[in-house]
Amino acid sequence: MKAKHQRLTLAILALVALIGAGLLAAFALKDQASYFYTPSDIVAKNPEVGRAIRLGGMVETGSIRKAEDGVTIQFIVHDSEARQNVTYTGIPPDLFVEGSGVVADGRLDTNGIFVAETLLAKHDENYVPRELEGIDMTGVNKTEETLVQ
């Protein structure tokens, strides 16, 4: 192989690898990226049953119920316009309390209940999940010090 050719071949190989990676990434993204929904988005866009989505909103005060088995909870996530029933089996995160923000990964089941696989609550009292910024937090005491952590 001539000198010029080797450099060219390497450059082409690198390009092919990167394009291949890009295509692989785009292909996987199409299937796997989960879209973020608020309760009113779910009413408006009506995502299909079984599709991985992410739900974010506020936990309605007085809505957390524990099931008989002691490890499943049911609660309602709401925003200013809509409410969504959620069930979760597992130990909820440390800061999962009524009247505060939550982000849940999971799927809608055939009864329209959101089955959460993971729950992310805020990390501490000053933290608001990025997805929840700008959501109307009716009745929520937002502290002034959201900048400090």
**Closest Cα to residue 106, out of 51, 59, 149?**
51
What six digits make up the tokens of 125?
């009292």
How far apart CA 96 and CA 102 sit, in angstroms, is 7
Residue 95 in contact with residue 20, Cβ under 8 Å? no
- Check binding of 70 to other proteins (CB under 8 A): yes
CB of 39 to other proteins, least distance (A): 14
Which DSSP category does 110 fall into?
Answer: T
- Check binding of 20 to other proteins (CB under 8 A): yes
Task: Give whichever of 110 and 147 is closer to other proteins, judged by the CB atom.
Answer: 147
- Give the binding site for other proteins (CB under 8 A): 1, 3-4, 6-7, 10, 13-14, 17-18, 20-22, 24-26, 28-29, 31-36, 52, 54, 66, 69-71, 89-92, 94-95, 105, 118, 123-125, 127-131, 146-149
